[in-house]
Amino acid sequence: MSMQKIVVVGAGICGLSAAIWLRRAGNDVTLIDKDGPGAGASYGNAGLLAEWGIVPISGPGIAWTGLKYLMSRDAPLRIQWGELPRLAPWLAQFLRNSSDTRTREISKALSQLLHDSSDQHRALTRGTRADKWIASSDFGWAYTDRAAFDKDAYTWALRREAGYVPEVIEGPAVQEVEPFLGPATHCLVRLKGSGHITNPGAYMADLAEVLTDEGGTYRRAEMRDVTMRDGRIAEIITDHGTLPCDAAVLAAGIWSEPLARKLGVRVPLVAERGFHLEFKDPTQVPRMPMMMTAGKFVVNPMAQGLRCAGMVELGGTSPKISRGPLDLLSRNVAKMFPDLDYTSVEEWMGYRPSTPDSLPLIGQMGTSGVFAAFGHQHIGLTGGPKTGRWVADMIGGRSNAELAAFSANRFE
């Protein structure tokens, strides 16, 4: 196809990836973001390339587990009760997706998106200034004991079916493999050949530079409205003027929902507030990123400190930081790593854009010429480069993958 003028809205990992692949296909690409590259969830995530992240939270039994969690102040899941009337329809859909059959269908789709994540990141960055932030690593799950691991049998059965076969380490061998773990951890489950990003914020900033290095345009601007002609996108109206376009990509994370409404498209997207604590100059770090299953948080040694990320709070997009989840995360870190010393700690809260079926929206919204690339919940960093590549292929008239599960129109 001939060169098209394309505007990409949102400079998180999905928007950056789409913009770079669209530019490499010979298009005139302008990327806009109201805050700067990776300012949202793409900055504050756990930094994992979680190819194994194929099991949705909404599995069988989630209703009972969720209820139990909501009754406890020490649980990794919370709800902002004031938001409940708005959340109720989403929660009802979420529960409808929790059957064994639906869980298996969703898991299969997630596997299709995530299975080659490290390769996709490397293809995106090969020979550029951004490739230095991608590290190869194993990934571990720290369990109190074998019984705790056995309780996760359903999750591990799904992973095994997708080809992720864990190595189970028990007893004193746990501390030999990972000295960072204290004596409370008697079982460590390891998957070989994973990867992580050593500084997500710097990675996003460099990807924006890659786009401009390769002839694309990056602008700090906020999308305010759109001009449609004969039902197709013609212009993106920003606070810094109007950008004419032949097609557009909507990759603005949680902010995609109000922007999609301007196109007349309603998407059931809620903010799943996520949190991290980043310990500066830590006295000890793990050899590999790990999930601490007892506290449901991830520890990842990064260039700028030890990041501990986790907790889920369903609610709105108010910028007011919730103390409860951060304090719980802090207590869990202190309990599990009593010997950890550091000079200071950074606190962060952001919004994961979550759909009720745990699958992102990827593809054209109706016949509008606007392509969705949002709603990735916990897997945005992992699935971003492939999402961007798929969208670039679709806009170029090439789409080889069977992507019905991710259809941007499935909720209409």
Taking the C-alpha atoms of residue 267 and residue 47, their distance in angstroms, rounded to an integer, is: 27
Q: What is the CATH number of domain 5-406?
A: 3.50.50.60
Taking the C-alpha atoms of residue 218 and residue 241, their distance in angstroms, rounded to an integer, is: 14
**Which of 76-80, 181-185, 276-280, 403-407 has the lowest average pLDDT?**
76-80
Residues contacting 21, CB < 8 A, separation 6+: 124, 388, 389, 391, 392, 393
Q: Which of 283, 136, 273, 121 is nearest to 206 (CA)?
A: 121
What tokens does 22 get? 């669209």
Give SS3 for 120: helix
Whole-number percent of the chain with pLDDT over 70: 99
Cα distances (angstroms) measured from residue 35 to each of 66, 157, 253, 391: 34, 41, 12, 23
What pLDDT is recorded for position 186? Answer: 96
Phi, psi of 2 (to 5 degrees): -75, 170
What tokens does 273 get? 């507030």
Regarding beta strands 290-292 and 134-143, do their DSSP bridges make them parallel or antiparallel, or are they unpaired? parallel
Taking the C-alpha atoms of residue 293 and residue 142, their distance in angstroms, rounded to an integer, is: 6
Asked if 148 and 293 touch (Cβ cutoff 8 Å), the reply is yes
Q: Which of 12, 14, 4 is nearest to 372 (CA)?
A: 14
pLDDT tens digits, residue range 344-357?
999 999 999 999 99
What pLDDT is recorded for position 241? Answer: 96
pLDDT tens digits, residue range 276-328?
999 999 999 999 999 999 989 999 999 999 999 988 888 888 888 889 899 99
Taking the C-alpha atoms of residue 326 and residue 334, their distance in angstroms, rounded to an integer, is: 12
Asked if 367 and 231 touch (Cβ cutoff 8 Å), the reply is yes
Encoded amino acid at 228, one letter = M
Number of residues in the chain:
412
Residue 90: how many other CB atoms lie within 10 Å: 16
Taking the C-alpha atoms of residue 218 and residue 223, their distance in angstroms, rounded to an integer, is: 14
What tokens does 330 get? 């802090």
pLDDT tens digits, residue range 60-113?
887 777 777 767 777 777 888 888 888 899 999 999 999 999 999 999 999 999
Taking the C-alpha atoms of residue 92 and residue 233, their distance in angstroms, rounded to an integer, is: 33
DSSP 8-state class, residue 403:
-
Residue ranges per structural domain of the chain: 5-406
